[in-house]
């Protein structure tokens, strides 16, 4: 498989942007926040990770968002199989109000 070397007008390769929305059950905010924070350092060290930023909603202490950029979908796929993600899934079992909502985006301008 030939890798694309296409670049945008800024000389950058296209990125895959991920938005991951996480909502804690009422009363579980602190545990979920701590589990989310534990993902940051190991993820930022992964090959293909451009940035990995955790946000908390301004008006809802139960709502969190990861804004991520990856060099490619295969890098993201590998990330999703990492031990720290498996550990996160176990750590938050029963603590989330709904499943993690993940959407993929591509920069086009």
- What is the tens place of the pLDDT at every residue in 47-80? 999 999 999 999 999 999 999 999 999 999 999 9
**Closest C-alpha to 20, from 59, 70, 58:** 70
User: Which tokens go with 108?
Assistant: 């086009």
Contact 103, 19 (CB under 8 A): yes
- What is the tens place of the pLDDT at every residue in 99-108? 999 999 987 7
Radius of gyration of the chain (CA): 15
The pTM assigned to this predicted structure is 0.84
* Terminal Cα distance for the chain, rounded: 26
Bridging pattern class, strands 63-70 and 16-23:
antiparallel
Residue 69's DSSP bridge partners are 17, 51
């Amino acid at each position: 498989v030939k890798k694309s070397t296409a670049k945008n007008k800024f000389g950058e390769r296209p990125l895959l942007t991920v938005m991951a929305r996480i909502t804690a059950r009422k009363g579980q905010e602190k545990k979920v926040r701590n589990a989310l924070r534990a993902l940051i350092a190991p993820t930022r060290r992964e090959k293909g990770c451009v940035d990995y930023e955790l946000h908390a909603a301004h008006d809802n202490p139960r709502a969190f968002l990861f804004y991520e950029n990856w060099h490619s979908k295969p890098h993201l796929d590998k990330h999703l199989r990492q031990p720290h993600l498996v550990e996160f899934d176990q750590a938050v079992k029963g603590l989330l109000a709904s499943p993690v909502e993940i959407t993929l985006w591509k920069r086009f301008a």
